[in-house]
Amino acid sequence: MMTKNDLLQQLKASNINTKGTLMVHSSMKAIGQVDGGPEAVIDALCQYMSHGLLLFPTHSWDEWNLKDNVFNVRTEKACVGLLPNTFLLRDDVVRSLHPTHSVAAYGKRKIDYTDKDKSIIQRGDVLTPCPREGCFGSLYDEDSQILFIGATLQKNTYIHSIEEWLSIPKRLAEKPRTIKVVDYDGTSYDIDVLPHNNTRGSVSQNYDRIESVLFEKNIATTFALGNASCKLLQVKEMTEFVLELLKENPNYFGFD
């Protein structure tokens, strides 16, 4: 059985910038048995990133989420796995207010970062899943890294952001959904949210098409965490590559 210290030693063998910004997509099942369970995995990641900013997606777009069209930042469960749900319950973690594509953050800059989604909501803008000024779009400005722990690049939510910036057709639904967002202090906002257009399935199924090229260009590297095979992506380099790809073929990730 792995221990937290074992995981820390593996993290030290990675190319993760301990003072940077790291977004983590994860599978606890892929990591395997760890003494202390998911809490120990989160402890290891928080300790390793104690001088940086650690982010997990805490999405709530599934059909069982948002009952009565209400998103309460304190109580809404994430639909993306055990580790994000464990992470968002920590007292030292703050969650953003995006009702379908929130992120949770740990680190000294956690409030400033998660407030990016709040600023859009307070302006009253129609909210898209991954706006340029929001928590996913801002990964570019942070020169971030994205870590996939036992997860495929089909989970790469950040590419949705790039497609939004370029206004790729048919990526968003035509009509918004009104959702009440309840903040930590009880303040509520009624906002219009445009979901993804999934009438033919999510285009994220095709995001792993670029995996081999990312490794060839050294935009992606790999290491192990527990029993999980991990992929670490450099956001700026990946963004420049995907922007060029989509400018040449806007429907590269779409369906024929």
Name residue 117's amino acid: D
Per-residue 3-state assignment (H helix, E strand, C coil) for 174-242? CCCEEEEEECCCCCEEEEEECCECCCCCCHHHHHHHHHHHHHHCCCEEEEEECCEEEEEEEHHHHHHHH
Q: How many CB atoms lie within 10 A of CB 72?
A: 17
Per-residue pLDDT, 198 = 80
Mean pLDDT of the chain: 96
Q: For residue 200, what pLDDT is reported?
A: 66
Mean pLDDT value of segment 180-192: 98
* Tokens linked to 199: 């009438």
d(CA 4, CA 33): 11
* Confidence label for 255 from pLDDT (cuts 50, 70 and 90): confident
The per-residue pLDDT for 256 is 61
Amino acid sitting at position 4: K
Q: What is the DSSP letter of 22?
A: E
For residue 81, is pLDDT > 80? yes
Instruction: Give the model confidence (pLDDT) of 203-230 as tens digits.
Output: 999 999 999 999 999 999 999 999 999 9
Assess contact for 189 and 180: CB atoms under 8 A: yes
What average pLDDT does this structure show over 94-111?
98
119-146 burial: b if 16+ Cβ within 10 Å, else e: ebbeeeeebbbbbeebbbbbbbebebbb
Its pTM stands at: 0.97
